[in-house]
Amino acid sequence: MATGTPNLSQERPQKTTDDESAAEKQNSARLDAHPATGAEYFEIVARATNDAVRDWNVTSGALLWPRGLDSLFGYPRSAANEKISFWFDCIHPEDLGRVQESLRSAFTSSDETWQDEYRFRHADGAYAHILERGLILRDPQGTAVRLVGTMMDVTTRRQLQAQACRSQRMEAFGQLAGGVAHDFNNFLTTILGYSDLLLTEKAVKGQIAEQINEIRDAAGRASSLTNQLLAFSRRQALEPTVLEVNRLISNLEHSLLRLLGDNISVVCHLHHLKKGAHIKVDAGQFSQIILNLAVNARDAMPKGGCLTIETSTLQVAPNADGSPATVDFSPGEYVTISLTDNGTGMSDQVKARLFEPFFTTKGDGHKSGLGLATSYGIVRQSGGHICAESELGKGTTFRIFLPRVPAPQPPSYRKPGEKKVLSGTETILVLEDEKSVRHLSVRVLRQLGYEVLEAAHGDDAKRLISQRNSAPGIDLLLVDMVMPEISGRHFADWLAQTSPETKVIFISGYLEESLHPGDRRNPGTSFLAKPFNADELASKVRELLDGEG
């Protein structure tokens, strides 16, 4: 017999006519025992829907509330609630004109129904999003004399819709930012690289050197902004390492005290786990997140206050209800870092846009509005979540959740040595479609003594390799991840079949198109993020050739 859902129509004994007749009599007896009049039945239906019902006499202005005025909106029954002016007064001022015009249009037409969505004030002052569907009753002349409507609370649905729209906007902006920043990083690599090369020339000194330094500084600032855009779009080339969260916070505590000033105290409640709580993040970027959140807390406490930092762990089981409602958790164990201030707090409108790029409530023209958007991107790219809880006048709490990882093995001892030599004589293939970046890389590597082959796309590179015949093999491939005909990764896979001993450095403007955490990362591969300068390129090449990558 096949497994699966049983066929109930076959396995269940068929009722006889007598059985059916007996069941009908039993149901009839049950209904007779609890007869429902028209009003009672109306009440049962209303309770089943959990809606409020209002009955408006359009001619006299009288308003009846058969159900829901107290249970849904919290208002006690009173004479003041039985006038249509009460209903109009409770509609949000921004929605009132539109609702009145909608009613006027429905009444003057021949419509039998009316429907609208508006915000209605609860007894506690908060507004609920209401969807009302009404039946218009008319006299023989067609004039509207009565409207009976059901008012459904759709606040949760509207919040979910708004959240989905914000997520779509942020995702669209992230894709745009990532693409623009990737191309921009090519330009910055060229500007930074050639600035460094010029500054090494003996003839470049004095005012010319100062001007080149100004160019380089401007490119550096542009690079920082680009990295913020990439971090928001979750395409930044992070360098994650395993860190113990308490140690990270403790190392930052002195910087936080300097940053916050004398009128703000810092209180730390750190976990007491014997084996520690480890996370895998880019240490520099994560430290910047903590500092950014601390600065926001400082600005929210202009008259002083207290910043409380807590660390703990959170176990999320499948289908668990214990995880924060604002976060969609996957099952697993998380490390939680919380920063709480007792400052001014935020309104719901501000909270709704908190992580949007370029959104800021600060009037300072130097604020880019990318701080929290950047933090959001870095945390999400690291596999975690960030959320905020706030109430006006009562302060704000930011919580960061990151997957807990095993503690790393202790590092092996290395004897201190002399400064690393960056030159070499190995053969390097540079495969890069961006002309300026390719020329810069080739020039730097040749100055260091390497034999360098250069190609703009995969076919050129394959031709160069086939022409070498008995020449020494290629020791290292320096390849961009994004190229028009064949991606850097696919070319590296092809080269590994013909020259498995060749080591690979992937270069790219962002991580998404290079090395995802789930992708294989063979011992002979490494990653260099754009924009890079001559020293970073030389160090990465030597590091990998020496077997340290």
- At 342-366, the pLDDT tens digits run 998 988 878 877 777 666 766 554 4
Judge whether residue 497 has pLDDT over 50.
yes
Range among 120-129, 233-242, 323-332 rated most confident: 120-129
Look-up: residue for tokens 């909106």? 73
Query: Which of residues 62 and 232 earns the better pLDDT score?
Result: 62
With a CB cutoff of 8 Å and minimum separation 6, the contacts of 302 are 343
Q: Is 45 helix (H, G, I), strand (E, B) or coil?
A: helix
The CA dihedral of 530, 533, 539, 544, to the nearest 10 degrees, is 30
Mean pLDDT of 92-119: 93
User: Which residues neighbour 425 within 8 Å (Cβ) at sequence distance 6 or greater?
Assistant: 449, 450, 451
Residue indicated by tokens 């508006």: 118
- Going by C-beta distance under 8 Å and a sequence separation of 6 or more, which residues neighbour residue 452? 427, 428, 429, 430, 442, 445, 446
pLDDT at residue 163 is higher than 80: no
pLDDT tens digits along 187-225 = 888 888 888 888 888 788 888 888 888 888 888 777 766
Closest CA to 197 of 436, 33, 549, 8: 436
Backbone φ and ψ of 414, nearest 5°: -125, 130
Query: Phi and psi (nearest 5°) for 174?
Result: -60, -40
Mean pLDDT, to the nearest integer, of 533-542? 88
Banded pLDDT at 513 (limits 50, 70, 90): very low
Spatial separation of the C-alpha atoms in residues 227 and 289, rounded to whole Å: 13
Helices (H), 50-128: 84-90, 93-108
Q: What is the pLDDT of residue 200?
A: 80
pLDDT of 273 strictly over 80? yes
Give the integer Cα–Cα distance in Å for 549 and 505. 10
Q: What is the mean pLDDT of the chain?
A: 79
CA angle 97, 103, 106 (to 5 degrees): 140
What is the DSSP annotation of 358-375? Answer: T------TT--S-HHHHH
So what's the pLDDT on residue 232?
52
Find the largest Cα–Cα distance for the chain. 111
Neighbours of 325 (CB within 10 A): 7
Whether 432 contacts 438, CB under 8 Å: yes
Task: Say if CB 264 and CB 257 are below 8 A apart.
Answer: no
pLDDT computed for residue 512 by the predictor? 41
Q: Is the dihedral of CA 359, 360, 363, 364 positive or negative?
A: negative
pTM here? 0.44
pLDDT of residue 194: 85
Can you read off the two tokens belonging to residue 69? 């005025």
b/e per residue, 79-105, with b = 16+ CB within 10 A?
Answer: eebeebebbeebbeeebeeebeebbee
Percent of the chain with pLDDT over 90: 29
In order of their start, the domains of the chain are: 39-153 (3.30.450.20), 158-232 (1.10.287), 241-403 (3.30.565.10), 427-545 (3.40.50.2300)
Pairing state between β 395-403 and 113-121: unpaired
